[in-house]
Structures are given as C-alpha cells and as structure tokens.
Amino acid sequence: MAGPQLQEMNEWSRFFTEADAQGCIVVLDARGQSETTHVYNVSRANRRYSPASTFKIPHSLFALDAGLLRDEFQVIPWDGVKRPTAAWNMDQNLRSAMRNSTVWVYERFAEELGDARETDYMRKIGYGNAVATGDKPFWVEGDLAISSFEQIAFLQRLYRNQLPFQVAHQRLVKDVMVNEAGPDWILRAKTGWTGKIGWWVGWVEWPSGPVFFALNMDTPNRLGDLAKRQSIARKVLRSINALPTAP
C-alpha cells in the first residue's frame, strides 16, 4: 500500500528505542490540501496481526446494523459472571463497552451474529483477511488479522462516513471512540491487546483535517508494556504537531 506520498520515518525509531519496544507506526496526515503517509518500520506495517480490541470499532457497526443494538443507551445486561476487570462486572452500554473494552459484550454480539454474518460484514468492508475461523474470540485468539496500513484505510472510510452502514451508525461509533478533546481538536481511538501484540489506532481531528495513526508493538512484558502503546504514539504525533503537548 506504499503510495507515492509515503515517507519512511527512520527517526521515529528513537521513540520505540527509548521505550524499549519493537513495533511500527503508520501516520496518515490529511491536514491541508495533500495527504502524506509517514511510516516507521514499513515491513512490519504491511504484516497482518490479530486486531484484538481494535476490532470493537467495526464490530460495533455490525451490531448496530444487525439491530442487536439500537443506540448507545441500550442496556446490555451483565450475566453475573465475575471477571478480572472490575468495570466489566456490571451492566454495559455501547459507550462503556468501548471505553472499558468489555470483552463479554462483543463475545455476545459474535454469538448472536454467527461466524457467517461476521465474515460477510468483514468482506463487505474489506477488513484484513476477513476470517472468523480459529479459536474464540476470533479477533483475539483466532485467525483474523489486519495490517497497520489496512487499519488506516478502514479508519479513513469511517471518518468520511463511507462504510456500507447507516451514516447515523458511523457517527455513533465515532462518538463513542472519543478519548480526549481540546478547543480545536478531538482524539478518537481504540486500544487492542492479544497478550503478545498491542495496538493503538485512531485519528486526531483538526480544523485543517484529520491525522490517522495505527501503532502496533510487541508486548513481551505483558501488562508492563501496555502504557507504551499510547506513550509512543503520542510522542510520534506530537513530533509532527498532530497532538498538543501534554500540560
């Protein structure tokens, strides 16, 4: 997917080295008239990995389209099973399920949709290798895989309401993706983690246009590495003035 405006950013290696991390990042800067794709570690950015919880972005669209969810207020009742994350042990709605990355909510959607419908939806939007095979959940333990470049292509279509779903549903999913905002910018993003691979994908909206990003990294220290996903990506984005400096 290396287009004419692809810039390899070897200098970004320092953000990974400082964090003692191995990974890649793709940043598509669409501010102003032209689009430039900046990449660190292009070979890895082309390689497909399990999307983990970044799949909650398209999965939410599938659930809304299939009528499993009406809106962000509909209560998704907790099954009473105690899970290790305290925020999961209560009723959820779309906003809390996205914010807390509540796995059981999406496992329930997957059960109600079934593998054939999931596959059909993924093919319709060209999501990675579009397979629901292997261990469950297929987006963490199974065979579904997507590259950083493909993540960016998907996010661009969502940003522009160009996916084959109701515009209202696309807007709603973007609304529940908001992480932070300032007077003239909004950060919409989602983390993901398989146990071995960490993701942070999304975009920053500015009056002059969006800046999309997809970071993917190894997490050999498991939980000890998770904070690095956002800290590395934030440093990269700040280095091109795509995110304000922390106060």
Q: Concatenated DSSP letters for 223-239?
A: GGGHHHHHHHHHHHHHH
Range of the domain at 149: 6-239
Q: What is the DSSP letter of 70?
A: -
Half-sphere exposure of 154 (CA within 13 A, CB side): 28
- Is residue 244 a part of any domain in this protein? no
Name the packing angle between helices 56-65 and 167-176 (round to 10°).
140
| Dist CA 232 CA 59 (whole Å) | 26
Contact 134, 143 (CB under 8 A): yes
Q: Which of 19-23, 32-36, 134-138, 141-145 is the least confident region?
A: 32-36
Is 4's pLDDT higher than 80? no
Residue 119 sits in a domain whose CATH number is 3.40.710.10
Count the domains in the chain.
1
233 in a domain, yes or no? yes
Amino acid occupying residue 75: V
Q: Does residue 245 sit within a domain?
A: no
pLDDT surpassing 80 at residue 240: yes
Residue 247 lies in a domain: no
pLDDT at 2 over 50: no
Asked if residue 16 is part of any domain, the answer here is yes
DSSP bridge partners of 190: 201
**Catalytic residue positions?**
53
Tell me if the pTM is above 0.85: yes
Q: Is 59 domain-assigned? A: yes
Segment 188-203 shows an average pLDDT of 98
Residue 246 in any domain: the answer is no
User: Quick check: 210 pLDDT over 50?
Assistant: yes
